[in-house]
Structure 1
Amino acid sequence: MALLAADLKEGTKTVHSEAERSKFVKFFFKGEISPATYGRFLISLYHVYNALEKALDQHKDNANIQLIYFPKELGRKEALEQDLEFFNGPEWRDMLSPISPAQKGYVDAIERCAATKPDLLIAHAYVRYLGDLSGGQILSKKLQKHNDLPEGKGVAFYNFDQIEDKDGFKEQYRKRINQVEVDEETHKAMVEESCQAFIRNIDVFQEFDHELPLTKEEQEAAEVAEAANKKAGLFSSLAPSNLINSIASAVGLKSNA
């Protein structure tokens, strides 16, 4: 059986690229996500990490979970609370409810793994934490650059103060994943679950699309749709009954058509 870390990377390659091409991520990289929108996005992350870290804590005695269990180094919940207060104010907890469909879907997926097959939590940890230690560091710089944030404020989520060598830690983490012992069926299920985790992320991103400006492609599509609607309206007005009614109205008569 192939090494799990390699299979997780290869198996998620397509859906990972799809997540990176999402509208939200594109606008994030361009610095076009407003602080207000980002503050609401943090609510989604809080729901996800609250569920994931609760599940990992619950199963920390599981032999496989122990291999990738680094609450001190990786735990994001407290950091998120700092950022949530920075962007949303001291009453940010009032924003946690109601939970959105994408948030609920992501949380439900994590809780399902915890309740039925805890080893699958490794797939969610792999997607989230290695992503935060990799692309998340680039997003942090974009966030600071485009929003002129005060030093150290608003980016606690991306700061892993307990990890001196991020690349070295990621390598260690992958080696730990490769030490996970599961049967072939569970191995495949973990790869599939990691793909589902990326899809859940995309679902979360898409919930914010309506808050973002139209892309060039969306603007062109909207113009095409508007032109088609106008054309359809013109043909409708030229339908026999409509045409007779229009003529009758013009001469002051009522049509029986």
Structure 2
Amino acid sequence: MRRDANAGRLLTAAVAAVPALVAAAHAGPAGTWLAGPRRALLPALAGIGTPHHVALTFDDGPDPNSTPAFLAALDELALRATFFVVGEHLLSHRRLGQDIVRRGHELAVHGWTHERPWWPAPRREARQLARAAHAVAEVSGTRPTWYRPPYGILTGDRLLAARRTGLRPVLWTAWGRDWTAHATAESVVTTVLTDLRGGGTVLLHDSDRHAAAGCWRAALAALPGVVAACRAAGLTVGPLGEHGLTGRAGSSHVRQPRR
């Protein structure tokens, strides 16, 4: 009887622990959102490539109200970049997506929608990520390589879905906080360059759909300053496909040029 009682208690404890284990498996990988540990422990996930190069990436498009302005600016700067697009937006603006590719830029996956993963939903995440990857392949004519989850939240469900879809998760090493209502060109440049080193990946946004209205203008205005600082430091700027993500970041910061 005592053995049966002990076994019963163990079984009850194990069953009670299941939700906690599921939650840990779901939320644990999301700790990679923290920039410091990510850069130190997971350089490839942080987007750290060869020291002489900086990867330029944009999230949340394509957006007919703002993305064309970024494409024009990149043409003027003679630059190519990686655009992490939202699947449902891409299929609503196919021609804009095709124009991104026609101009030599790289399309990558930013999810089917732009939602936060509050609860574990492995089947839903797998289905939606596969749908988004298919949309990118259909519009670009090329199977996508890169995946950046919305808000940079890489849960266990999303990580497993990416592996099943054949996508490589990449976050960033420097961002501009350009999604806020008070962002300016100066604040975006300063914030990016504070964390940017050779080999880093820059995150900006070419749309305000999931941010403060009109904030994309700050990112657009900051773009020449960020690029000038990189070039002044002897760094090339381009898409993730040219970034060589097996490398390590350089030891020196990229400094903003004096005016």
TM-score category of the 2 structures, normalised to the smaller one: under 0.3
TM-score (norm 1): 0.26
Q: Of the two structures, which has the highest relative contact order with CA contacts closer than 8 Å and spacing of 6 or more?
A: 1
TM-score using structure 2 length: 0.26
Structure of higher CA gyration radius: 1
Higher helix share: 1
